[in-house]
Structures are given as C-alpha cells and as structure tokens.
Amino acid sequence: MDLLIDGLESRKSGEKFHDFVLDDAIHSIKRAKEALEDGMKDPEHWWNESMLTTKTFMTLFPLIYMVQQRLTQPDPPQAEENLPTTPEKGQEAEDIFGIE
C-alpha cells in the first residue's frame, strides 16, 4: 500500500482539482491500511469504535439537517411590520383597517 500511496503522491501536478482527487484516494488507502493493521489486531474493538462513530453521526444528522433548513429559510416577518399604521389627519380608522 505504501508503494501505491507513493505512486499517487508522485502524480500530483499542482492543479487544484486533480490533486484533490489524489488526496482523497490517498486518504482512503491510508484508512484501509489502518483498518487492516489496527482492526485485525483487535477486530471487536474496531467494530465497537465503528459502531460508536456511526451512532454519533446518526444522532447528529437530523440536527445538522434542521440547522441547514433554518439557515436557508427566509426570516419570518417581524411583528412590528404587521401592525396597522395610525391614521393620518383626516383619514378614517375604517379606511386603514378595511372596515366598511
């Protein structure tokens, strides 16, 4: 795996998106290497840690979704904006409130 990582590192060109793809692949290979080396030493511990991480994300995703929805929704109108205006001199109250 180290040879594969070195080969991918050598293919970097300095171009932003190209290098991003290579960095992503390198990260995945390192994660697989970690799983094979550390995970095989104590598979039960590796499984428990993976389940804990999964449960944490499952708990957080609804909260993240709600925050994202809140941030993308327009602000509700302020209460002051909905108050009727006071009548101008000579204007009847019925005209403002739509009462006939």
Q: Which residue has the tokens 């692949």?
A: 25
What is the count of structural domains for the chain? 1
Q: Does residue 79 belong to any structural domain of this protein?
A: no
Residue 94 lies in a domain: no
- Model pTM greater than 0.75? no
Domain assignment of residue 58, yes or no: yes
Structure tokens at 15: 């171009």
**Using CA atoms, how far apart are residues 65 and 53, in angstroms rounded to an integer?**
18
- 87 vs 2, residue with greater confidence: 2
What's the confidence (pLDDT) of residue 87? 57
Provide, rounded to the nearest whole percent, the portion of the chain with pLDDT above 70: 74
State which residues form the domain around 30.
2-69
Residue 26 domain-assigned? Answer: yes
Within a domain: 84: no
Q: Is 88 contained in some domain?
A: no
Alpha helix locations (H) across 1-100?
2-10, 16-34, 40-41, 43-72, 93-97
pLDDT digits (tens, 9 = 90+) for 13-24: 999 999 999 999
**Cβ partners under 8 Å of residue 40, min gap 6:** none
